Amino acid sequence: MGLLVVSRWPARRVEAVDLGRLPRDRVQRFALVVELETPAGPVPVVGTHLAHLSQGSPWQFRRLGRLLDEQPDGVVLAGDLNLFGPLVERLLPGYRRGVRGRTWPATRPVAQPDHLLVRWPGPWVVRAGRVLAPVGSDHRPLRAVLVPRP
């Protein structure tokens, strides 16, 4: 398992932050913090793949929340959070989902464990967010266009 942030903008800073390993999880989890240099200024992006709720992921959500609090106001969070949207928003107060749609399993999606979140209110608005067609993963990718809040 690996983490990747794909962007048309260059990265100024890249850091892997340890989110810990849960006793019932097979792998250690990380968050990838990337600061992108955009025409609108620097945008911090955090990407991650969290454990399942049954493995104790609320503990990782707490660590992730602290990491997000340390980032500049315009932070964007994306990744497989292995949890449905309303509960994600409860565990990460102040963040709103920018894309809504079923992403898993890719062939016949029934759930959305994959999310893109922005602070609310914050400097970014998701103008266009959608779930894309399958690309070979067991999850469908998300795409979002972020614009500065008017």
For residue 6, is pLDDT > 90? no
Q: How far apart are alpha carbons 133 and 122 in whole angstroms?
A: 29
For residue 57, is pLDDT > 80? yes
The pLDDT assigned to 1 comes to: 66
Render 33-79 in DSSP notation, one character per residue: EEEEEETTEEEEEEEEEPPPGGGTHHHHHHHHHHHHHTS-TT-EEEE
The arithmetic mean of pLDDT across residues 118-147, rounded, is: 94
For residue 108, is pLDDT > 80? yes
For residue 120, is pLDDT > 80? yes
Structural contact between residues 148 and 121, judged by C-beta atoms closer than 8 angstroms: no
The arithmetic mean of pLDDT across residues 65-71, rounded, is: 96
The pLDDT assigned to 128 comes to: 93
The pLDDT assigned to 89 comes to: 95
Decide which of 7 and 64 is more confident. Answer: 64
Phi, psi of 42 (to 5 degrees): -70, 140
Domains of the chain, with CATH numbers?
A: 11-148 (3.60.10.10)
Q: Dump pLDDT digits (tens) for 18-49.
A: 999 999 999 999 999 999 999 988 999 999 99
- Distance in Å from the first CA to the final CA of the chain: 38
